[in-house]
Structure 1
Amino acid sequence: MNIKQLEAFLQVARHKNFTKAAVHLMMSQPAVSFQIKSLEEDLQINLFERSEKKVALTEAGRLLYPVAMQMVRQYHKIRASLDDLRNLKTGHLQLGACPAAGEILLPRLIGAFREQYPGVKISLQVGGSSQVNRWLKERDVVMGILSIPVQIDGVEGQPWLRDHLAFIAPTWHPWNGAEVKPNDLLRESLVIRETGSGSRQVAEQQFLELNLSLEQFAGILELGSNQSIINAVRAGLGIGLVSSWTVRDDIARNNIGVFTVPGLTFEYNLYLAWNQPGAEGLAVSTFRRFLLNHEITGRLLDDIS
């Protein structure tokens, strides 16, 4: 049983005539007769009583009619929904992102994407890179942005944007605007992201290259977001390391100080990762291409303070 058979059945039942049904369906009368015959053979029962003067539904035909109508309507509804999705008039993107991307970059990019595709619903969860990695693995999100490479079966990834960690200090601190020797850092308490976060891994790796470790600092305060680190540093709890994207606005407004350390650049990639490589939905592939168009993303992100 297929849709063509059911559509032919419905039109013959409505018009009580094979020829009129054929005109409505823009088919030949023999083609309509073939569809009805095939349907009756599939169901192994007669659906019409035929005579020279009229065509009438049998009892089986009357039972099938409302069911067939519902099936055909549902089929066309599904086709319309798929056509909308094919043209990206609808869809749902579940995204997961590390704080630098989720709190600063994506809101602006999602806004621009929604201007082009207003029918696409987007849900965004923000968490550490290890948490985004877990969301991808458990299929809670269809795309993630992380500060560490992804190594999960069934998930593909590639570098997206470059970022670096910035050293910050209270505006009143003597290091504000200065160049500080690496060993002098150890006199201060360091406010940094929690163990397992991408930025924490970047920091630990570069400190190690200069024979420094976090245990050598006067104190360590671990916090779960970039904004909490910025707030703690402003309160005088130590110097901090945060994504350069997240602190630009505070630096521009002179709410926080910044300093540099020769030999420590803390550069790293933000990575895009997505499920079902080669078979992802249209909304996912379109949003991925949108993010990877660096002409668009560069223009949208250039004016972030």
Structure 2
Amino acid sequence: MLSHAHEIFLEVARQLSFTKAGQTLFMSQSAVSKQVKALEEHYKTGLFERLGNSVALTAAGALLYQKLLAAKQLQHELHQQFAAVSPGFAPQVRMVIGASTTISLYVIPPVLSAYLQRYPGTQLTLKNRNSENILKALLEHEIDLGIIEGIHKVSNVTYTPLLTDEVVAVCSARHPGLPEELVAQDLYHTPLALREQGSGTLAVLEQALAEQNIKLTDLPVKVRLGGTEALKNFVRVDTCLAFLPRQAVMKELASGELREVLIQDLRMVRHFDFVQRKGTENNLPYKTFVQFTKRYYSKQA
């Protein structure tokens, strides 16, 4: 078992921030610093360089970090194997996952419920941000697993497909002017309400428009809103056309609050992918969570 101090060191090394580590671990910054100092005294060397408001691992700190990551992996494997042979064995496991807005609100909650029933010793934190910021959090080691949608891929990240979803054009059911069908060129004369920059939904729309040689900057965008729910609530009472994930508006379409507007020459399908830093794909318990989620949705299909 890794000691409490080593677990704290791992979190500081992962985030390169005493403050962020304290927030994740629900500890004060001073308590985190005290534990790290105790380790530095134990190993008779500095583990972090303090650089103003940031920190960096020393050579000794980097060595300890790599060895502890390997030890952590072995510990997770041991815990899983023991749980299989000893049903009463239920070690505490902590996971921090990041997911884009649509996934956090409509896709992942039932999976989390099922996963926690299967692995009751898990303490799980879900961070909800747009796709661009989830990718940023992954690269900054704030999270070890993300689920994102519809953004350009980067070379140092592994992408594992999860689901596909459709982005649809919707307006208020009380909208007096919009016909049931449009073509892409009609968007030049249609007031739009869109998500904020960095949204996966927006990225899918931009790509579909580009295939029709249409620039988003040339369209009459009246408002941008951060978050799917904010955009959905706005378009319910306004006369703008919005583009939203079908997963997010199924209830409103069924109840008649919103209606779908078919745009004949725009195909807006997006992919939900797990994202991990290259080299961490086999790290437990995240590998287990990826496999569990894929099995969950394969049974729903």
Give me the TM-score of the superposition, normalised by structure 2: 0.66
Rounded Cα–Cα distance in structure 2 between residues aligned with 1:150 and 1:119? 34
Q: What does residue 283 of structure 1 align with?
A: 285
Q: Is 2:216 aligned against 1:214?
A: yes
Q: What does residue 166 of structure 1 align with?
A: 168
Q: Is 2:270 aligned against 1:258?
A: no
Q: What does residue 297 of structure 1 align with?
A: 297
Q: Is 2:79 aligned against 1:84?
A: yes
One-letter amino acid of the structure 2 residue matched with residue 242 of structure 1: L
Rounded Cα–Cα distance in structure 1 between residues aligned with 2:97 and 2:241? 32
| CA-CA distance at 1:176 after TM superposition | 6.9
Tell me whether 236-245 or 267-276 shows the greater mean CA deviation: 267-276
Structure 1 or 2, whichever has the larger Rg, is 1
Q: What does residue 269 of structure 2 align with?
A: 267
Contact 1:169 1:175 in 2 (8 A): no
Which of 133, 136, 150 is the aligned partner of 1:134?
A: 136
Q: Write the deviation string for residues 19-48 of structure 1: whole angstroms up to 9, x where unpaired.
A: xxxxxxxxxxxxxxxxxxxxxxxxxxxxxx
Q: What does residue 120 of structure 2 align with?
A: 118
Q: Write the deviation string for residues 125-149 of structure 1: whole angstroms up to 9, x where unpaired.
A: 0111110001100111110011125
Q: Write the deviation string for residues 236-285 of structure 1: whole angstroms up to 9, x where unpaired.
A: 15110011111112212222111111111211211111246356432111
Contact 1:156 1:274 in 2 (8 A): yes
Contact 1:85 1:91 in 2 (8 A): no
Aligned residues: 220
Q: What does residue 235 of structure 1 align with?
A: 237
Contact 1:193 1:199 in 2 (8 A): yes
Contact 1:170 1:176 in 2 (8 A): no
Rounded Cα–Cα distance in structure 1 between residues aligned with 2:117 and 2:140? 30
One-letter amino acid of the structure 2 residue matched with residue 114 of structure 1: L
One-letter amino acid of the structure 2 residue matched with residue 266 of structure 1: M
SS where residue 188 of structure 2 aligns?
helix
Cα distance, 1:210–1:80 mapped onto 2, change above 3 Å: closer
| CA-CA distance at 1:220 after TM superposition | 3.2
Contact 2:172 2:239 in 1 (8 A): no
Rounded Cα–Cα distance in structure 2 between residues aligned with 1:263 and 1:232? 26
| CA-CA distance at 1:298 after TM superposition | 4.4
Rounded Cα–Cα distance in structure 2 between residues aligned with 1:274 and 1:230? 30
CA RMSD of aligned residues (A): 2.4
Q: Please give the residue correspondences for 1:12-91 in structure 2 after superposition, counting only pairs within 5 Å.
A: 83-84=78-79, 86-87=81-82, 89=90, 90-91=92-93
Q: What does residue 154 of structure 2 align with?
A: 151
Contact 2:208 2:266 in 1 (8 A): yes
Q: Write the deviation string for residues 124-173 of structure 1: whole angstroms up to 9, x where unpaired.
A: 001111100011001111100111254253x3222211112110100012
Extract unaligned runs of 5+ from structure 2: 1-73, 84-89
Rounded Cα–Cα distance in structure 2 between residues aligned with 1:218 and 1:176? 15
Cα distance, 1:104–1:160 mapped onto 2, change above 3 Å: same
Cα distance, 1:279–1:206 mapped onto 2, change above 3 Å: closer
Rounded Cα–Cα distance in structure 2 between residues aligned with 1:193 and 1:142? 26
| CA-CA distance at 1:81 after TM superposition | 8.5
| CA-CA distance at 1:85 after TM superposition | 5.0
Tell me whether 213-222 or 183-192 shows the greater mean CA deviation: 213-222
